[in-house]
Amino acid sequence: MIRFNCDYNEGAHPRILERLVETNFEQTAGYGDDPHCDRARDLIRAACSTPDADVYLLVGGTQTNLTVISAALRPHQGALSAVSGHINVHESGAVEATGHKVLALPSDNGKITAQQVEDAWRAHFEDETQIHMVQPKLVYISHPTEVGTLYTKTELEAIYKVCKERDLYLFIDGARMGYGLTAPGTDLTLKDIAHLCDVFYIGGTKVGALFGEALVILNDELKKDFPYFVKQKGGLLAKGRLLGIQFETLFEDGLYYELGRHANKAAAIIREACEKKGLSFLCPSPTNQQFPILPNEMVEAFRDKYAFADMGKVDEHHRAVRFCTSWCTKLEDAQTLADDILNF
């Protein structure tokens, strides 16, 4: 069985494990107050060109999302999100459990537009019964999105502009950031992103770490007392240095980007085979997740040899699937799948 079912099937890049072994008997303070976390935070601030950013290293994505959103909002406020946004679909109501409504906006490619944000703002603030409705205050987007798509620089600038004008926070979920930053054709760098939002994170869990998300807080309003929230929501790792060591390794010499590029390369092999075969896609994705629409027979034939996600029926004769590559996917495995697609 060759696994294309997700991007967290294996452990971590070997250099991360080496570093954990090397540093194992160092004695350091807990909770992230250690030299490894300090260095990781510095490396990330440097990579972002945001010397004043507050950086927190957290264990996982849902935890990061719920911590940021509950820290940012007052009780009557909600988060605008694409209907397909992770917080709206796949976090078991984590945001609502902290008391906030996710205000879903329609989307057929995982993205939302500046215009949608502006319209949602107007729909609320121009309604005289506004106090009977949840006030939009934060815009949540994913980059890459849950369906592998990417914002362009122009799109992100437009969204951030509306957010600034309308006093909304812009929060970018970067669980798969590494795959987005290194996608062919993207014009958004890490520096761009860090200057076009209020808070975002750089995902480690899905890009070569054992676990970990590096949260970068840019807006001063969101910085105050943030450590309390991390602790209260159960996200303060006692041996915080484990996160520091991982992000040091990922960011000291470009490993993070290298891993991203690798996964995209593997994905491209699969995408190109699909294209050559004349298959269409749910969404055009330049990143590590590919969502081709396959004839039912192909889906059935592939089930024994490959692990992949079934995205559901498209029509009587076709289903959409997700092939997901990662930092750890072997290119020959991608090629095997590509060949099987072409030769089907």
> Of residues 183-202, which lie at the interface with a copy of itself (CB under 8 A)?
none
Residue pair 49/191 in contact (Cβ under 8 Å)? The answer is yes
Q: Which is nearer to a copy of itself, 30 or 254 (CB)?
A: 30
Least distance from a copy of itself to the Cβ atom of residue 185, Å:
28
Out of 38, 89, 192, 340, point to the residue binding a copy of itself (CB under 8 A): 89
Inter-CA distances, 153 with 197, 256, 297, Å: 12, 21, 40
Q: Does 336 contact a copy of itself by CB under 8 A?
A: no
**Interaction of residue 24 with a copy of itself, rule CB under 8 A:** yes
Q: To the nearest whole angstrom, how small is the minimum distance from the Cβ of residue 154 to a copy of itself?
A: 30
Residue 201 structure tokens:
């994170």
User: Does residue 148 belong to the site contacting a copy of itself (CB under 8 A)?
Assistant: no
User: Cα(176)–Cα(143) distance, rounded to whole angstroms?
Assistant: 7
Q: Does 134 bind a copy of itself (CB under 8 A)?
A: yes
173, 59 in Cβ contact below 8 A? no
Listing DSSP states for 153-174 in one string gives HHHHHHHHHHHHHHT-EEEEE-
Q: Does 322 bind a copy of itself (CB under 8 A)?
A: no
The type of residue at 145 is T
Q: Does 331 bind a copy of itself (CB under 8 A)?
A: no
C-alpha 100/C-alpha 77 separation (Å) is 7
Nearer to a copy of itself, 152 or 232 (CB): 232
Give the tokens for residue 209: 């770490």
Among the listed ranges 124-132, 158-166, 190-198, 280-288, the one in contact with a copy of itself (CB under 8 A) is 124-132
> Contact region for a copy of itself (CB under 8 A) — 133-141, 160-168, 189-197, 261-269?
133-141
Q: Using the rule CB under 8 A, which residue among 57, 68, 94, 172 binds a copy of itself? A: 94
133 makes contact with a copy of itself (CB under 8 A)? yes
CB neighbourhood size of 198 (10 A): 23
Closest CA to 78 of 134, 141, 162: 134
Give whichever of 96 and 258 is closer to a copy of itself, judged by the CB atom.
96
Site membership for a copy of itself, residue 145 (CB under 8 A): no
27 in contact with a copy of itself (CB under 8 A): yes
* List 159, 193, 328, 341, residue binding a copy of itself (CB under 8 A): 328
Site for a copy of itself in 61-80 (CB under 8 A): 61-67, 70-71, 74-76, 78
DSSP H helices, the chain, are 14-22, 35-48, 61-72, 86-89, 94-97, 114-125, 153-166, 177-181, 190-194, 220-223, 226-232, 241-251, 255-277, 296-302, 331-342
Instruction: Pick between residue 47 and residue 236 the one whose CB is nearest to a copy of itself.
Output: 236
Q: By CB under 8 A, is residue 8 in contact with a copy of itself? A: yes
Residues 225-244 interacting with a copy of itself (rule: CB under 8 A): 225, 227-239, 242
Q: Per CB under 8 A, does 99 bind a copy of itself?
A: yes
Distance CA 12, CA 168 (A): 36
168 binds a copy of itself (CB under 8 A): no
CB 95 to a copy of itself: min, Å: 8
Tell me the number of residues near a copy of itself by CB under 8 A. 75
Structure-block tokens of residue 12: 């971590």
Residue 91 is a binding residue for a copy of itself (CB under 8 A): yes
For a copy of itself, the closer of residues 70 and 289 by Cβ is 70
Strands 293-295 and 318-324: antiparallel
Is the backbone of residue 224 left (phi > 0), alpha (psi -120 to 50) or beta?
beta
